Structure formats: structure tokens, C-alpha cells
């Protein structure tokens, strides 16, 4: 089962990782100053993940493809890992689209 894992960073900020059912991290959030803001971020991902137009396909300086997920206001609400190929990146987007809406929230 897919899940959002909420953790606290060393700097005291909260973040979430969306993990697929195989345990692989498929989306990571920015840092949030409060847990409630982090939970709002999770809800935003659940809402926006199903809309293909919310994804921006990018390439890092090292040539590795990745993507971001944006809210309706254009703010980035999550970023993927770096992928070996555009095909793998597209599979990552499909995984977020499928898993985010049904993922449970776990606080670690």
C-alpha cells in the first residue's frame, strides 16, 4: 500500500515522502515549519496528482530527468528523484498519479 511518510528534518522542519507499495520514494516535499502545513501539502498532492498538467518534466544539470508536481497556484508541492531515463521518469509520474490519491498518512 502506498503511503505518505511524515518526518522531521534535522533543522526542525517537517517533510513528507510519498512511497509506492514497493517502498520506493516517488515524491518528496519541501520543508514545512508546522506539521499542519505539511499535512496540507499532503492533501494538495492527493488533489493535484491526478491532473497530468500539474507535472513539469525537467532535466537536471547532470542530464538526469526528474519531475515536479505543482499546485493550482503554480507552487511546487513535490519533487521526484533523479531518473536514469525519460521513460523511467514518466513511469514515476504515472506512479504518483495512481498512488497519491489513495495513499495513507504515516507519521514517523
Percent of the chain with pLDDT over 90: 99
**Domain architecture of the chain: domains with CATH:** 3-107 (2.30.29.80)
> pLDDT of 58-73, one tens digit each?
999 999 999 999 999 9
Query: What DSSP string runs through 78-108?
Result: EE----SSHHHHHHHHHHHHHHGGG-EEEE-
Q: Beta-strand (E) ranges in 1-108?
A: 3-8, 14-19, 25-28, 55-59, 65-70, 76-79, 104-107
- 103 within 8 A of 21, measured Cβ to Cβ: no
- pTM, 2 dp: 0.94
The residue with cell 492533501 is 43
Amino acid at each position: 500500500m502506498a503511503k505518505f511518510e511524515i518526518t522531521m528534518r534535522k533543522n526542525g522542519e517537517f517533510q513528507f515522502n510519498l512511497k509506492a507499495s514497493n517502498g520506493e520514494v516517488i515524491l518528496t516535499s519541501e520543508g514545512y515549519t508546522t506539521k499542519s502545513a505539511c499535512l496540507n501539502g499532503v492533501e494538495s498532492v492527493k488533489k493535484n496528482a491526478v491532473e497530468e498538467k500539474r507535472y513539469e518534466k525537467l532535466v537536471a544539470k547532470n542530464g538526469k530527468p526528474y519531475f515536479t508536481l505543482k499546485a493550482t497556484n503554480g507552487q511546487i508541492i513535490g519533487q521526484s528523484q533523479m531518473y536514469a531515463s525519460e521513460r523511467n521518469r514518466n513511469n514515476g509520474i504515472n506512479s504518483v498519479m495512481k498512488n497519491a490519491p489513495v495513499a495513507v498518512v504515516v507519521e514517523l
